[in-house]
Structure 1
Amino acid sequence: MTDGSRTGSDRGRPQDSMPQERDVPPAGGVAVVELFTSQGCSSCPPAEEVLTEIERDARERGQPVFALGFHVDYWDYLGWPDQFADEAYSARQEAYARAFGTGRLYTPQMVVNGTVEFIGSDRRRAATAIASALTAAAPTPLALSVEAAGGDGRRMVVDFQTERPPERAVLNVAVVERALESEVARGENAGRTLRQDNVVRAFMSLGLDVERGRLELEVPPDLDPRQASVVGYVQNDGARAIVGATAVDVPAGA
């Protein structure tokens, strides 16, 4: 379905493998890649494969590319409640739709640096958008450190530091987890085992009106810290443009 409703999806044609322009080294910019997806959508697994490739390639090449899979909840009506979905992630996608002036939601949707959107399974569009982002001006500096809060494994403390944050900026902090597998029993992906990377397991946004601070995130009890990272990114609260980002792996024992 391509009617733009909350239950719609775009069925993108198969795309070629990741183009070679991904090999171009960055010139100072960063690329934050947000994928809005759902286990209940049959068009989403190819897009999640693209997100996995983006994350893997960035790690191998040492590129400042940060991948996040936001699972939306509006496909749950088909009978398969996505265990990673959150209505807050659907609301985040809605905010992008308003910023883009389309009012249109679909899955899989990929958004690069808050300003470019396209069908998430389109490898070529992803490569082009990421390459463009990496050649942009030097980003707003951002540093993170992470430690466990308490001994229950349910909370993380994140310290952040930046310089001269722009006006109307927000700091987004996400805990993402790799190598997740789910056996889907109902919905459009019934009978499939889905492997997903960089799934957002916890998320928080706060107004960035100071250059350093601390926040606390509650994480799910089944989070595997060995496969988890914390991604932070600075975003304009109006135009939605992302101007800085960084990530740190979750330390052992967190």
Structure 2
Amino acid sequence: MTDTSPSRSSSDRTDGGFAVVEMFTSQGCNSCPPAEEVLSEIDQSARERGRPVYALGFHVDYWDHLGWADPYADGAHTRRQEDYARAFGSGGLYTPQMIVNGTTDFVGSDRRQASAAIESALATAAITPLTLSVTETDGDETHRLTVDYQVDRVPALGTINMAVVERGLENDVPRGENAGRRLRQDAVVRAFTSERINGDLGQVELSVPATLDPRRAMVIGYVQNDGHRAIVGAAAVPVAS
């Protein structure tokens, strides 16, 4: 692809409740497809109802040596789950694990707990409202995204997380616990970065694969407390204008 003129769009500011739903998953785990269905339902419902619920599927890499290497797995996703394990004092990793707003975790296939955690999160106003805008540039091998953000009421110790997620991905799994299945997944994290917030205005750059379909992709930004890991603000914006 060649460079194109940048397009820019802005997110709605979220002052009220929101829910960031992070799920740690793997195509190599046969317990994960049911949880992927739950995550897809959460993502679809949020988009249809216009609710500030943001789904992210982090594919971990510790299943990769057991017969099938997940094409979306990343060691950075595993390290993020390890950070949560330390914060929760659990000391162990498992899939599928779902975490809502950085503080509530449970087995990702549990629809009842997912619904209860999301409704509770939506009932709590954002501590740190966030606004995003994104500029997209096409390159030969990657899409390059520049995300500008504005944070109100910057926390003393806070991190801005920025993710690009894509829905409607499908692939065949020939080996491992899901051998012979064709998996369809939504809200797959295709790029992710975190950095310390140093002021109310900032900019983050992300590179995503050229195979990313901008029409099915979203940038999700969320502010997280560095101590207790609570997510205190979030917003999202489509990649395509």
Would you call these one fold, judging by a TM-score over 0.5?
yes
Is contact 1:27-1:135 (8 Å) kept? Answer: no
Q: Secondary structure at the match of 1:182?
A: strand
Q: Which piece of structure 1 moves more, 182-191 or 137-146?
A: 137-146
In the TM superposition, structure 1's runs of 4+ consecutive aligned residues that sit over 4 Å from their partners are none
User: Structure 1 residue 185: deviation in Å?
Assistant: 0.6
Q: Determine which of 209, 220, 225 is the counterpart of 2:209.
A: 220
Asked if residue 193 in structure 1 is aligned to residue 193 in structure 2, the reply is no
Aligned to 1:55: 43
* Distance in 2, Cα, partners of 1:233 & 1:47: 22
Asked if residue 103 in structure 1 is aligned to residue 91 in structure 2, the reply is yes
Asked if residue 157 in structure 1 is aligned to residue 146 in structure 2, the reply is yes
* Distance in 1, Cα, partners of 2:126 & 2:189: 26
* Distance in 2, Cα, partners of 1:27 & 1:162: 11
Is contact 1:229-1:249 (8 Å) kept? Answer: yes
Q: Determine which of 166, 180, 185 is the counterpart of 2:169.
A: 180
* Distance in 1, Cα, partners of 2:179 & 2:161: 33
Q: One-letter code of the match for 1:251?
A: A
User: Structure 1 residue 167: deviation in Å?
Assistant: 1.1
Structure 1 residues not aligned, in runs of 5+: 1-25
Over aligned residues, Cα RMSD in angstroms?
1.4
Asked if residue 87 in structure 1 is aligned to residue 75 in structure 2, the reply is yes
* Distance in 2, Cα, partners of 1:58 & 1:139: 21
Is contact 1:27-1:134 (8 Å) kept? Answer: no
Q: Determine which of 224, 233, 236 is the counterpart of 1:235.
A: 224
Q: Determine which of 160, 174, 180 is the counterpart of 1:171.
A: 160
Q: One-letter code of the match for 1:35?
A: M
**Fraction of identical pairs, as percent:** 65
Aligned to 1:21: none
Per-residue CA deviations over 1:148-198 (Å, capped at 9, x if unaligned) read 246444311111111121111000000000000010010000000000000
Q: Determine which of 232, 236, 239 is the counterpart of 1:247.
A: 236
Aligned to 1:23: none
Is contact 1:97-1:104 (8 Å) kept? Answer: yes
Q: One-letter code of the match for 2:227?
A: G
Aligned to 2:199: 210
Asked if residue 128 in structure 1 is aligned to residue 116 in structure 2, the reply is yes
* Distance in 2, Cα, partners of 1:236 & 1:138: 13
Aligned to 2:106: 118
* Distance in 2, Cα, partners of 1:42 & 1:151: 36
User: Structure 1 residue 201: deviation in Å?
Assistant: 0.1
Q: Secondary structure at the match of 1:226?
A: helix
Q: 1:169 to 1:27 in 2, by over 3 A?
A: closer
Instruction: Specify which structure has the higher proportion of strand.
Output: 2
Structure 2 residues not aligned, in runs of 5+: 1-13
User: Structure 1 residue 138: deviation in Å?
Assistant: 3.2
Asked if residue 142 in structure 1 is aligned to residue 130 in structure 2, the reply is yes
Is contact 2:136-2:239 (8 Å) kept? Answer: no
Q: One-letter code of the match for 1:170?
A: T
Q: Secondary structure at the match of 2:209?
A: coil
